[in-house]
Structure 1
Amino acid sequence: MAFSCQETDKTADTPLAEAETAASLTDTTGMRPAPTFFVIPPDLAEKRVWICENTASDLFHVQHDCPVLVECKGKGSFRNLTIVRAIEDFGRYNCQTCSEGLNHIFDEELVR
């Protein structure tokens, strides 16, 4: 019979570690070039979103308490603006944590 000892990482089981992992997985893109294609349906044209004005994120958020947006605290300033302005003027993409349902905006192959 052979036994082996394996070290376990106890920090990965904490809720804080899970939130940090989710945030880091979501916002690992850094600044990408501004979207070249997007279609905003008329019912979303006036939708308000949040952005963090810093040099490390290119996302917009539909929830003001999104864990990825909260990570911005102390690293930049928050802005609330329309989704059209967030994409056109600030070159933002949707956050996969709080606004994954808006992926269709950037889908070139979607039949509209």
Structure 2
Amino acid sequence: MKSLQDALYNWLTIKIVSDARPDDTAATETREFFEEMLTTQHHVSNIETSKDDVMYYVSYQQGGEMKKNRYPRELIEIMLIQINQEPDKYENYPTEDD
């Protein structure tokens, strides 16, 4: 993924799902994938998130400077809303270790 903006958007979207569904192994693995991408490809560190009634804010360090992006909550939360509306379609499958 070439765009840092896209990588942060995808990471935040799946982070929201992963935080809401801590037993969802697919969400956790996908979040970890995007975290690795942010670190290795985009050299991002110290990621912090916050939100208000309208937006999510992502603060991060890149190249020695702090940066901040914002994303509309309705776009970030859509995946979690879909999962909650149709949980049968998003069943958590156990890993081989379980």
Larger proportion of strand: 2
Higher relative contact order by CA 8 Å / sep ≥ 6: 1 or 2? 1
Task: Please state which structure has a larger fraction of its residues in helix.
Answer: 2
Indicate whether the TM-score tops 0.5.
no
- TM-score norm. by structure 2 comes to 0.25
TM-score (norm 1): 0.23
